[in-house]
Structure 1
């Protein structure tokens, strides 16, 4: 398994893992915002903190690009509740 979160803009998602064990965070970009719509983690990767690492990396990438973060995905919303420092700089 790879340890780095990577953006796959062709599929509009961030990825962590490899092969059939790939966790993904789907997004779309609109009006200066990265809108996170859904996070998926395969059963065999659950309970290992993979989703947390995936979202931390994805949010960091959004901030680096100067995009606002819009959490439509419940996991991303929960992550931001637990880690408010990971949200928009303007918040």
Structure 2
């Protein structure tokens, strides 16, 4: 697979996840759970042979932008990777919620 291939991001609502494809191949997923005023991101996964290319970070960036642009929901980063992404992007802290019930 060409690492520089065309990137496609999808909100696969029927599977409760965001997904990233490169050159038509699934490379990373970010699970999401909607609950009222918040959306939880409980798990991020990159297919092992595609790790180390920054795909998960790109996918989290896409998902955060989607939530910010298309909803009024806050984000609960339940997985360590999403929490670290927010630590690295303090300009997005206004989107954070401490719990799904906030």
TM range (shorter): 0.7 to 0.9
2:42 corresponds to which residue?
37
Paired with 1:57 and 1:46, the residues of 2 have a C-alpha distance of 18
Count residues with an aligned counterpart.
90
Give yes or no for contact 1:26–1:38 (8 Å, CA) kept in 2. Answer: yes
Paired with 2:79 and 2:44, the residues of 1 have a C-alpha distance of 7
2:80 corresponds to which residue?
74
Larger radius of gyration between Structure 1 and Structure 2: 2
Structure 1 runs (4+) deviating above 4 angstroms are none
Give RMSD over aligned pairs: 1.8
Provide structure 2 residue ranges, at least 5 long, that are not aligned to the other structure.
Answer: 98-102
Give yes or no for contact 2:27–2:55 (8 Å, CA) kept in 1. Answer: no
Paired with 1:81 and 1:44, the residues of 2 have a C-alpha distance of 26
Provide structure 1 residue ranges, at least 5 long, that are not aligned to the other structure.
Answer: none
Paired with 2:96 and 2:27, the residues of 1 have a C-alpha distance of 32
Paired with 1:35 and 1:48, the residues of 2 have a C-alpha distance of 24
What's the TM-score, normalizing by structure 2?
A: 0.78
